[in-house]
Amino acid sequence: MLRILEKIKYIKDNYLIETIILVIIAIILINTLFVYPIVGKCDNGDFERFMRYGGLKNIHNEYKKIYDGYFHNKFLISNPNPLLFVPVYINWVSSTILLKISVFIFLVIHGFSSNLFDIRYLAFVYCVIFLIGIFLIVSFKRFNSILKIICGAFFIVFFTSTCYITYFNSFFGEAGTIIFLFLNIGTYLYLITREKPEIRHFIYFFLASCGFLTAKSQNIPLLVFMLIIYAGLFVYYKQKKIRISIIIGTLIVISICGIGYFSLSDTMNRNNLYQSVFLGVLRDSPTPERDLQEIGIDKKFMVFYGHSFYDRKGEQDPLGKEMIDDFYPNISFGKILVFYINHPDRLWEKIVDSANNAYAFSNIKKGSFIKNQYDSNKVVNGIRVYLIEKFPKLHRNIYVFIGFSILYLLISIFYFIKYKDRTTRLLVLMLLFILASGASQLVLPVLGSGHGDFGKHLFLLNLSYDIMAGIAVLWIAHIIYKCSLKYFKNIIRLK
């Protein structure tokens, strides 16, 4: 009892603000994701490749019952369940590890007697990691009490919104992107503010960064920017053991990113290439036939223009023999990139399209609930969606994105040049990584899959710029606080 009281006193003295913030966030998460009527995401066809890693399958076999437009929370656990123990299979992403953990927790709690998995077990695992990441960020040692409160309030208002947390009750990769990005930032802040960090602190960060980079195949190209952070750590931490651990960690992350990339199935790769051409390069093109030939594809394949990759019932089958023999071997993302470099006006059109399609969030609707459980009076956080709908020109304006990005970049560079201490410079590297993660999404999704499921592929753009908005708010609050402090000190001196 005495130990418990001592721990409570320690938390009260050192982490009172953080605890209050986490309790508020936990209440919102529990109410939204765990208390009936619960809210989540319905399957759009992407769930199956993720579910297989937990040995899960849909309760129904009929197409209409699987894709009925409603959120499903129960899934069958296969028996036997060999994939539960297979670490890597096709279309591997880091969140599949969390799925395996959640399925195992479910089986243990139910004494291995139930085969009806509840998706809320996965949401629970996501929520735990989400809260750990938030705690590490809010408890950043350079935050005073005011900044901690502002940071926590921003998390509550923006990141407990249904447009983000409902992904936790789903098998979409966006959930992993959210939790691992916050954990990545949190473990990094925890690392760089320690006077004498230990090797385990570097391990925490490398695990979190690897989790983020492999949460979706779309995140893997960001390894290029993450390597700059790894290099920064190597430069500023000169102890031999730590440098060896940084090198080993970097090589492991590169290897795991490679595993994630090469695990992509042929169908997935072909789907992305198909959409990059027919829903990207050729979309709104004044000269589609000429563009097709410029990227090295015979104009006979123009018959697929306006034809969905998933529509395989007609004569034009995107996975037909002619396509596999003559189309896919002759196209690559490198050729598509060269095309846009040679046509900067077309690239600019795609960047503007990305901005125009950003923040494709919506309020919860009937499909966000289990069938026949829709409740219009369900209390959830919809503030973020309200702001997007209230100010659409602010959220979907390429010039706002560019202007904000330039200011953010210039201020970050200013701090990097002015302050030469290790913590500040390493902090700036992470701030620039967040900028690179967001700004790159104005280009990468359209290169990688054209306008196929465009709004969803811009998710990291939305998340990154929301994080940068929070950073901007904290920076402004910090400047106001410093100026106020200086002002009152001058008044006291005059008196």
Contacts of 291 (CB under 8 A, 6+ apart): 281, 282, 285, 339
Which range among 126-130, 417-421, 490-494 shows the weakest confidence by mean pLDDT? 490-494
- The dihedrals phi and psi of 56, each to the nearest 5 degrees, come to -105, 155
Please give the average per-residue pLDDT across 390-394, as a whole number: 94
pLDDT in tens, 296-306: 999 899 988 87
Q: For 11-149, list the strands marked E by DSSP.
A: 56-57, 74-77, 116-118
Per-residue pLDDT at 86: 81
Nearest CA among 145, 188, 187, 157 for reference residue 477: 145
Kindly report each contact of residues 415-420 with a partner whose C-beta sits within 8 Å and lies 24 or more positions away, as own/partner. Answer: none
Domain borders along the chain are 2-263, 266-342, 348-359+396-495
Please give the average per-residue pLDDT across 398-415, as a whole number: 98
pLDDT at 308 over 90: no
pLDDT at 13 over 80: no
Per-residue pLDDT at 354: 94
Q: Are the C-beta atoms of 408 and 428 separated by less than 8 Å?
A: no
pLDDT in tens, 200-246: 999 999 999 999 999 999 999 999 999 999 999 999 999 999 999 99
Please give the average per-residue pLDDT across 4-9, as a whole number: 74
Confidence of residue 314 (pLDDT cuts 50, 70, 90): low
Q: How many CA atoms lie within 13 A of 103 on its CB side?
A: 28
Confidence of residue 494 (pLDDT cuts 50, 70, 90): low
Per-residue pLDDT at 39: 97
Please give the average per-residue pLDDT across 42-64, as a whole number: 92
Q: How far apart are CA 44 and CA 68, in angstroms?
A: 10
pLDDT at 471 over 90: yes
Contacts of 59 (CB under 8 A, 6+ apart): 72, 74, 75, 76, 116
Q: What is the DSSP string of 114-156?
A: --EEETHHHHHHHHHHHHHHHHHHHT-TT--HHHHHHHHHHII
Per-residue pLDDT at 88: 87
Q: How far apart are CA 257 and CA 210, in angstroms?
A: 8
Which range among 12-26, 158-172, 478-492 shows the weakest confidence by mean pLDDT? 478-492
What are the tokens at 367? 């499909």
Nearest CA among 326, 308, 206 for reference residue 256: 206
CA 327 to chain centre: 32
How many residues are there in the chain? 495
Q: How far apart are CA 95 and CA 76, in angstroms?
A: 19
Q: How far apart are CA 242 and CA 199, in angstroms?
A: 6
Mean pLDDT of the chain: 93
pLDDT at 287 over 80: yes
Helix axes 95-109, 120-138, angle to 10 degrees: 120
pLDDT at 185 over 90: yes
Q: Classify the phi-psi angles of 39: left when phi > 0, otherwise alpha if psi is within -120 to 50, otherwise beta.
A: beta
DSSP run (H or E) holding 18: helix 16-33
pLDDT in tens, 120-146: 999 999 999 999 999 999 999 999 999
Q: How far apart are CA 3 and CA 7, in angstroms?
A: 6
- The dihedrals phi and psi of 144, each to the nearest 5 degrees, come to -85, 180
Sheet holding 116-118, edge to edge: 56-57, 74-77, 116-118
Per-residue pLDDT at 316: 78
Pairwise pLDDT comparison (12 vs 266), residue with the higher score: 266
Per-residue pLDDT at 454: 81
pLDDT at 338 over 90: yes
Per-residue pLDDT at 2: 64
Q: How far apart are CA 301 and CA 322, in angstroms?
A: 9
Give the amino acid at 239: Q
pLDDT at 9 over 90: no
pLDDT in tens, 57-98: 999 989 999 999 999 999 999 887 777 788 888 999 999 999
Please give the average per-residue pLDDT across 48-56, as a whole number: 93
Nearest CA among 468, 473, 475 for reference residue 437: 468
Per-residue pLDDT at 449: 83
Which range among 14-28, 300-314, 346-360 shows the weakest confidence by mean pLDDT? 300-314
What dihedral do alpha carbons 466, 468, 470, 476 form, nearest 10°? Answer: -140
